Structure 1
Amino acid sequence: MAPGTEAQQVPGTRRSGWLLVLPAVALVLVALCLRAPFAAVGPLLGELGAELSLSTGALAVVTALPLVCFGLVSPFAPALATRFGVHRAVLLGVVAIAAGVALRLAGAPGLYVGTVVLTGGIAVANVLLPAAARADYGNRSALVLGMIVASMAASASIGAGLAQPLANAAGSALTGLALWGGLVLAALVAMALLTRARRDVSRPAPAPQGARTAVLRDRVALAVTLFFGLQSLAFYSMLTWLAEILETEAGVSPVAAGGILALAVALGLPASLLVPPLAARRPGQGGWVLVGSLPVLAGLLGLLLAPAAAPLLWALLYGLGSGASFPLAMTLILQRTRDVGQTGRLSASAQSLGYLLAATGPLGIGLLHQATGGWAAGLVVLLVVVTVQLAIGLAAARPRLVGEAV
């Protein structure tokens, strides 16, 4: 029996209906945990610095750690799926997220160690959720992937928007970050139920010889990987520094800046629901690359040339384009691959190399600000990055499949 057909094999029975709905519920709950635990850090950098006596440079490392961990851990996710099954591997990722959230209560060392552990778990889930959706829903996976990516966007928005209120309610920035453990526990329970129900039928075959490096030799896979990395670089730079830019360059208050950031990130929610199923209907996705890149370029130009004129508009344009680019990148991973195993391998390669590339964004923009005392240099760099993203995206959007080894 082919993976992804089990939940529909006995229509009308209670068990088949349960197995049809449970994967979407569990995967969406997991996706809701994949951004909030570190999206909440950016708005709390000032409080964390004061609370833990950390310098700006030390805080910049905290913001870069998640992306570095994503890049380093992602290549191992397909091997976990092969050994334990896709669902059990995702469950292990959620367990790591829960442990990392708890560890961050242990002061400055805990903040660093917990961030590494939880983002390692997030990396595993990031890579394998598309493969899990494909295993559970087959040809209908684009719609479920849209729900998953929309949940990630919602997670980032909720994390940024509730960071300050939760810290205020808890009386401490660290305790406020720990409150996200409740959501992670809910995802843990749902994923455990799904893993038990699915019996790990979705166990991909071992990767072909040289599959980990094949992405560097395949033009389609490399284009998808670079597009993923460049759009991630732009997004996480916004997630980390946009509030600061709005405060210093546009004169926006800290609370309003956090709210604008949350609203900008929230635009990824409707985009995530719409882009995957719509983009998957056509062989090529070049038009969607334009939809994802041009608004970001317009927002960056506004922030650079006239930040105080319309800060809300510039932020929303940035958020709209970024919100469309991420689900498009995930959709390209599905559209350019042939089966569950290849989807997992390309997802791992794209996220490993892509997130290592993206890690240079928040750190580099922060260091440029420290060196120049302003944000103009960083905004110019982001303009160049998004322009290259546009060109690479048009190449990745062409209707071709990656080679067999990837």
Structure 2
Amino acid sequence: MTAMTTTATGRRTAWRLVLPAAALVLVALCLRAPFTAVGPLLGELGGELSLSTGALAVVTALPLLCFGLVSPFAPSLAARLGVHRAVLLGVVALVAGVLLRLAGAPGLYAGTVLLTAGIAVANVLLPAAARAEYGARSALVLGMIVASMAASASIGAGLAQPLADVAGSAVLGLALWAVPVLVALAAIAALARERWRAPRPAAAPRGARAALLRDRVALLVTLFFGLQSLAFYAMLTWLAEILEDDAGVSPVTAGGLVALAAALGVPAALLVPPLAARRPGQGGWVVLGTVPVLVGIVGLLIAPGAAPLLWALLYGAGTGISFPLAMTLVLQRTRDVGQTGRLSASAQSLGYLVAATGPLAVGLLHEATGGWEPGLVFLLGVVAAQLAVGLAAARPRLVGEGV
């Protein structure tokens, strides 16, 4: 074989390694922005569509509820269609939902349900797709996927108003997210076509879902995912108002601090999965992801105005570490692609339903007491439970091995 032939073969091999990861990352980049872009535009949407504040609040609650309700069906879809084609179907639903939001107020609700259902399928199956493509080396790709999700959330919130200004209305601004989703659709369609003969994950045996939740390892991973999600979404929902009311910062500064805190999830997502996967146990990473949040919450309780930047960064750093760690535990505690998909579905289904209660609980406690201290104490208890559950989930055991 000549040197030129060897070089060409090496380049083809490199592209075959890079292209699947690129397709999966492009999909991940579309899995948060279409719904995080809604929050900054709620006032304009209410005016354009004649919706009350309560009606708009329902729109913001729909994504987490859809994640929780749709996620359990993703593994069955993968067993029927194959992992790649199931992800493709999820992206098709995503682009259809984004475009459906052009149809006035009913379209806003229906489109949000449809696009978040598609996101839920992709959320669950992207780790399984990464495992199917890269096997034992999938932790690095998983990190890229999770980082892309975090970046997507930040990009969606940051570009919401500029896109609405360019489009001339909030509704049209939301519809512009169809452009990157269509790019991702083309990429995952090409990958699914290449993998159409790939073996499909085995369908779960009857009662497998219930059996999974009776398994101690699976239950611990699921609980850890839910508790860290609750802390993260409570931060996104209420931290800005806490900083305004208790730390005395301006609304613009409070929003900037929350955005900065959330952005810490991007580098964390790139670093945590490959590093945490190097060892059989991940207890140190659990501590690293929970203790900063505990310190941040205590700071907000005791001296909120003393160092609001520090408290926000500690909260963001801890939650930024915990999410990719939760996704890594799904990989590290399972044996094969099918089991990875089932545990991912379990963790995300129950986890996001748990997460949906957090912002609501903090808000109700504030409404009942007029202060943020009860809600912060509640979050302190949640994160303390996350630490205990995480340390147990981090032990080097696989699903089915018990304690």
Whether the TM-score (by the shorter chain) exceeds 0.5 is: yes
Structure number with larger C-alpha Rg:
2
1:300 equivalent in structure 2 = 297
SS at match of 1:68: helix
- Deviates further, 51-60 or 234-243: 51-60
Q: In structure 2, what is the Cα distance between the partners aligned to 1:76 and 1:302?
A: 41
Residue of 217, 227, 231 corresponding to 2:228: 231
Q: Which residue of 2 aligns with 1:177?
A: 174
How many residues are matched? 396
Alignment partner of 2:206: what SS?
A: coil
Deviation track 1:372-395 (CA, whole Å, cap 9, x = no partner) reads: 344333222211111111111011
Provide the secondary structure at the position in 2 that maps to 1:288.
helix
Deviation string 1:145-175 (CA, Å, 9 cap, x unpaired) is 1111111111112122222333344343333
Contact 1:333 1:347 (8 Å CA) reproduced: yes
**What does 1:278-293 correspond to in 2, within 5 Å?**
278-293=275-290
1:404 is displaced (CA, Å) by 7.9
2:102 aligned with 1:105: yes
Separation (CA, whole Å) in 2 of partners of 1:251 and 1:103: 41
Structure 1 position 293, deviation (Å)? 0.7
Q: What are the ranges of 5 or more consecutive residues in structure 2 without an aligned counterpart?
A: 1-5
Tell me which amino acid in the other structure corresponds to 1:151: S
2:363 to 348, 366, 371: 366
CA-to-aligned-CA distance 1:261-299 (integer Å, 9 cap, x gap): 221111011111110011101111011001111111122
Question: What is residue 268 of structure 1 aligned with on the other side?
Answer: 265
Q: Is residue 58 from structure 1 mapped to residue 58 from structure 2 by the alignment? A: no
Q: Is the 8 A contact 1:101 1:178 kept in 2?
A: yes
1:186 pairs, out of 180, 183, 188, with 183
Q: Which of structure 1's runs of 4+ aligned residues deviate more than 6 A?
A: none
Supply the distance in 2 between the matched residues of 1:108 and 1:317 (Cα, whole angstroms). 39
Q: How does 1:270-349 map to 2 (within 5 A)?
A: 270-349=267-346
Amino acid at match of 2:128: A
Matched, 1:354 2:351: yes
Distance in 2 (alpha carbons) for counterparts of 1:164 and 1:124: 28
The alpha-carbon deviation at position 322 of structure 1 amounts to 0.6
State whether residues 42 and 240 of structure 1, in contact with CA within 8 Å, keep that contact through their aligned partners in structure 2.
Answer: no
Equivalent residue runs for 1:198-217 within 5 Å: 198-217=195-214
Distance across 2 between alignment mates of 1:92 and 1:42: 26
Q: Secondary structure at the match of 2:214?
A: coil
Structure-2 separation of matches of 1:252 and 1:172: 30
Q: CA RMSD in A?
A: 2.1
Match of 1:378 in 2: 375
Q: Secondary structure at the match of 2:306?
A: coil
Q: Which amino acid aligns with 2:158?
A: G
- The equivalent residue for 1:29 is 26
Q: 1:154 to 1:385 in 2, by over 3 A?
A: same
Unaligned 5+ runs, structure 1 = 1-9
The AA in structure 2 aligned to 1:389 is Q
Determine the C-alpha separation between the residues in 2 that align with 1:303 and 1:175. 39
Aligned to 1:5: none
SS at match of 1:215: helix
Task: Give 1:202 deviation, angstroms.
Answer: 4.2
CA distance in 1, matches of 2:265, 2:21: 19
